[in-house]
Each structure stands twice: as C-alpha cells, then as structure tokens.
Amino acid sequence: MTSERLLHLHQASPFRHFIIHLADRRALGVDHPELLTYQRNSRTAVVYASDSSAHTIDLLLVTGLEVLLA
C-alpha cells in the first residue's frame, strides 16, 4: 500500500467513506476527511474514531483500502 493511494482516497471529491485494513486484522473506518491525518511520504497516519479515540498506524502494515459505495 502506498501513501499516494491513501492520499487519493483522502482527497477524493466527493469524499467517500473508506476502510483501512491492517495486517493484524483490524479495520479502521474513515467517515470524514478530517478524521485522518498524516504527512506525505510518512510511514504513520492517525485515524480518529467516533468514540474520540485515536489510532496511530504504520502504513507499511496496511493490507488494503476498501471504498464503500453506498
């Protein structure tokens, strides 16, 4: 998974909810572009959840990105 692919989904217009799948089988939903932050060419990102928790992830451990169409 490349940070460029994540950037593409994050900046899509219109934005579509997507899920980040991780190697440890976790799945983190990104419901709004403001709930994801990272720097270009960085190895880490932070995903904020609806319960106000924050998950710092290593982008090298992302196994897939799933866009929800509905």
In 3D space, the residue among 30, 5, 28 whose CA is nearest the CA of residue 15 turns out to be: 30
Tell me if 48 sits within 8 A of 54, measured CB to CB: yes
The answer to whether residues 36 and 16 touch, using CB atoms and an 8 Å cutoff, is no
Q: What is the pLDDT of residues 12-55, one digit of tens each?
A: 999 999 999 999 999 999 999 999 998 877 889 999 998 889 99
Among 11, 9, 13, smallest CA distance to 21 is for 9
Residue with tokens 């709930």: 35
Count CB neighbours of 22 within 10 A: 17
The pLDDT assigned to 2 comes to 66
**Residue 42: per-residue pLDDT:** 83
